[in-house]
Amino acid sequence: MYDIIIVGAGPAGLTAAIYARRAGKSVLVLEKDTFGGQVTFSPKLENYPGFQEISGNELAQKMLEQALALGADVDMDNVTDVIGGNVKTVIGENATYEAKAVIIAAGARHRRLGLPREEELIGNGISFCAVCDGAFYKGQHVAVIGGGNTALQEILLLSEVCSKVTVVQNLAFLTGEQKMIDAVQSRENVDVIYSTVVTAYEGESSLTALRLINTETNEESRLEVDGAFLAIGTVPENGAYQKVAKINEQGYIEADERCMTNTPGVFVAGDCRTKTYRQVATAIADGAAAALNACRYLDA
């Protein structure tokens, strides 16, 4: 029996563990995949306070070491269900766990195109976040895959630092807000290729080009780029929490800045919850808020 079980060992989950342990609560962190979450895909962070420059892997490792040093237990397991009640039951593929409170910090996974060698090129020419990685492509030519609001935001940011931004959109039009579309179309260094999808990546150690095909004409082409930003949305991994949390149409757990779900004693932090900005800094803020509210719940 733990005071708090935290599902997910990204920045939100590890921050929650640090705060909970400092409050004297027994803590178990369960992680199914990679300690550090999505931040580990960033080879260099320059917008995290306290570090002029740090890799995502190094930052995640420091957070993990701090949580362990404070006495948090960490285990690898894929959580498949959470059952509420005075005692919460967390069911994993390897074991079943019990706690008085649960913090869901399962994160959200950036959508991929599912093409060969995609995973190995992430961080080596393929990125997801212009705020995080845009500065590395200053004065260079990048592609943005997607045409919704997320993509339009990335395009506008990248157009400020890159010499050229080529947008690859699978539809015959952009799908974001008209005001943002107008802003993108007014940028002289932005080109949009419509009705086109990426069929392959080129490059050995890093991305050098995209192979494209026009879905209307079947014409194939090749686009040389220094980098590509995938902006086709994120996939929250919240299927296991439907019994204890309200999930919206996009799959995110509904919660405000207090990080409280509609089930007493169940909290949510990080990219898996409804929020405007999904950055390392906001995930850490969520982790702190969720842990503090979980401790308040336990002490009531």
pLDDT tops 80 at residue 31: yes
Give percent of the chain with pLDDT exceeding 90. Answer: 82
* 8 A C-beta contact, residue 139 and residue 165: no
pLDDT tops 80 at residue 206: yes
**Does the annotation count 259 as an active-site position?**
no
* Higher-scoring residue by pLDDT: 45, 178: 178
Could you tell me how many residues make up the chain? 300
pLDDT for the residue 40: 82
Catalytic pick among 3, 77, 133, 226: 133
pLDDT band at residue 131 under the 50/70/90 scheme:
confident
pLDDT for the residue 147: 95
**Does the annotation count 162 as an active-site position?**
no
pLDDT tens digits for range 145-194: 999 988 998 999 999 999 999 999 999 999 988 999 999 999 999 999 99
**Does the annotation count 129 as an active-site position?**
yes
268-284 mean pLDDT: 92
Q: For the chain, what is the HEC assignment? A: CEEEEEECCCHHHHHHHHHHHHCCCCEEEEECCCCCHHHHHCCCECCCCCCCCECHHHHHHHHHHHHHHCCCEEEECCEEEEECCCCEEEEECCCEEEEEEEEECCCEEECCCCCCCHHHHECCCEECCHHHHHHHHCCCEEEEECCCHHHHHHHHHHHCCCCEEEEECCCCCCCCCHHHHHHHHCCCCEEEECCEEEEEEECCCCCCEEEEEECCCCCEEEEECCEEEECCCEEECCHHHCCCCCECCCCCECCCCCCECCCCCEEECCCCECCCCCCHHHHHHHHHHHHHHHHHHHHC
pLDDT band at residue 1 under the 50/70/90 scheme:
very high
pLDDT for the residue 277: 84
pLDDT band at residue 129 under the 50/70/90 scheme:
confident
pLDDT band at residue 114 under the 50/70/90 scheme:
very high
4-30 mean pLDDT: 98
**CATH number assigned to the domain covering 118-230:** 3.50.50.60
pLDDT tens digits for range 235-256: 898 999 999 999 999 899 999 9
User: CATH number of the domain at 2-110+234-299, out of 3.40.640.10, 3.50.50.60, 2.40.30.160, 3.40.50.1010?
Assistant: 3.50.50.60
pLDDT band at residue 39 under the 50/70/90 scheme:
confident
pLDDT for the residue 38: 80
Least confident of 83-87, 204-208, 232-236: 232-236
Q: What are the residue ranges of CATH 3.50.50.60 in the chain? A: 2-110+234-299, 118-230
pLDDT tens digits for range 81-112: 999 999 999 999 999 999 999 999 999 888 89
* Higher-scoring residue by pLDDT: 128, 28: 28
Q: What tokens appear for 92 in the block?
A: 């994993």
pLDDT tops 80 at residue 63: yes
Catalytic pick among 75, 77, 81, 132: 132
Catalytic pick among 129, 162, 259, 295: 129
**Mean pLDDT of all residues belonging to the chain:** 94
